[in-house]
């Protein structure tokens, strides 16, 4: 069929499905491109959105199964590729902390969860998009919620997100243990992704003592005691975060994203793998 303007306008919707499923921008773009290439060979489709959405969901499920196997040999923790922008425009994706948590789900649970919680689709539509019955979709969603526990689709306030980010970075820069103790929850988690291409923790860290020891230890590395780096506020998946650039080369070194509950930071996510740091 002909790719009309109406069909082209579905690209952000299709990309959001694929990226939220896969956590990799280029992979999501490849899925969408493949879907559009398949579209030109079909005939008599009355509902383009449903047809293209179903193809995107199914291709994403299949591709995620392959990627999960590949990630078993990944060096260190694997974090989703952040969707980085320098302005507050809402990109076609979901909050990064939730995207990270979705790695706990299998591909089918993830697809049903995304369609229900992120797109607010009813069970009939989810069944049409996934090929499962509505009752099976309810069961998949229930399992997804059980795996995520209390970490569901909580609203994230951008202003509070920025406040926590700036407070944490300020306390860390001044090595202010008292402030860090107040900001970080006792069961704080830290995940850093270097992909074997840049130094990063090879295992997640859990607990205030271990996380503080790691963070303050990194600051003692000689290269981090110079003025070679600068922080820049940015947006990751539409929410405030922080980037670190080399002053001389302008190269993006890392991304810092925090998750919080109540008045405390619960999780620190660092991406250092250069393959995942694109603006």
Query: What is the predicted pLDDT for the residue at 143?
Result: 95
Band of the pLDDT at 44, cuts 50, 70, 90? Answer: confident
* Residue 75 CB-half CA count within 13 A: 10
The tens digit of pLDDT for each residue in 54-106 reads 999 999 999 999 999 999 999 999 999 999 998 877 767 789 999 999 999 99
Q: What is the pLDDT of residue 154?
A: 63
Lowest mean pLDDT among 35-49, 119-133, 172-186: 35-49
Secondary structure (DSSP) of 214-279: HHHHHHTSGGGGSS-EEEEEEEETTEEEEEEEETTT--EEEEEEEEEETTEEEEEEEE--GGG---
Return the beta strands (E) in 11-159 as ranges. Answer: 84-85
- Burial class from Cβ neighbours inside 10 Å (0-12, 13-18, 19+) for residue 186 reads exposed
Taking the model in full, what pTM does it have?
0.93
Instruction: Identify the pLDDT of residue 222.
Output: 79
Q: Which of 159, 168, 53 is nearest to 111 (CA)?
A: 53
The pLDDT assigned to 224 comes to 75
Q: What is the pLDDT of residue 153?
A: 54
pLDDT, the chain, mean: 93
Q: What is the pLDDT of residue 67?
A: 96
What proportion of the chain, given as a percentage, has pLDDT over 90? Answer: 81
pLDDT of residue 3: 83
Which range among 84-88, 261-265, 272-276 shows the weakest confidence by mean pLDDT? 84-88
pLDDT in tens, 123-176: 999 999 999 999 999 999 999 999 998 665 566 889 999 999 999 999 999 999
Task: Tokens for 158, please give them.
Answer: 């951008």
- What are the φ and ψ backbone dihedral angles of 21, each rounded to 5 degrees? -75, -45
The lowest-confidence range among 93-97, 231-235, 241-245 is 93-97
């Amino acid at each position: 069929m002909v790719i009309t303007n109406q069909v082209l306008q579905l690209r952000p919707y299709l990309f959001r499905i694929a990226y939220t499923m896969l956590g990799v921008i280029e992979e999501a773009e490849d899925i969408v491109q493949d879907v559009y290439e398949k579209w030109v060979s079909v005939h008599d489709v009355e509902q383009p959105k449903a047809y293209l959405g179903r193809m995107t969901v199914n291709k994403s499920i299949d591709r995620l199964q392959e990627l999960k196997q590949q990630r078993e040999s990944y060096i260190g923790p694997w974090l989703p590729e952040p969707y980085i922008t320098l302005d507050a425009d809402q990109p076609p994706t979901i909050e990064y902390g939730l995207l990270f948590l979705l790695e706990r789900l299998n591909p089918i649970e993830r697809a049903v969860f995304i369609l229900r919680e992120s797109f607010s689709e009813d069970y009939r539509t989810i069944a049409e998009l996934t090929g499962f019955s509505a009752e099976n979709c309810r069961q998949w969603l229930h399992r997804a919620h059980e795996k995520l526990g209390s970490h569901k689709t909580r609203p994230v306030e951008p202003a509070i997100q920025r406040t926590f980010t700036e407070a944490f970075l300020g306390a860390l820069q001044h090595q202010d243990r008292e402030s860090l103790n107040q900001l970080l929850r006792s069961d704080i988690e830290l995940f850093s992704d270097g992909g074997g291409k840049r130094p990063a923790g090879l295992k997640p860290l859990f607990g205030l003592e271990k996380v503080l020891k790691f963070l303050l230890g990194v600051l003692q590395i000689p290269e981090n005691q110079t003025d070679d780096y600068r922080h820049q506020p940015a947006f990751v998946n539409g929410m405030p975060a922080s980037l670190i650039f080399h002053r001389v080369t302008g190269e993006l070194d890392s991304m810092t994203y925090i998750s919080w509950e109540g008045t405390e930071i619960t999780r620190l996510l660092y991406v250092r793998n250069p393959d995942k740091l694109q603006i």
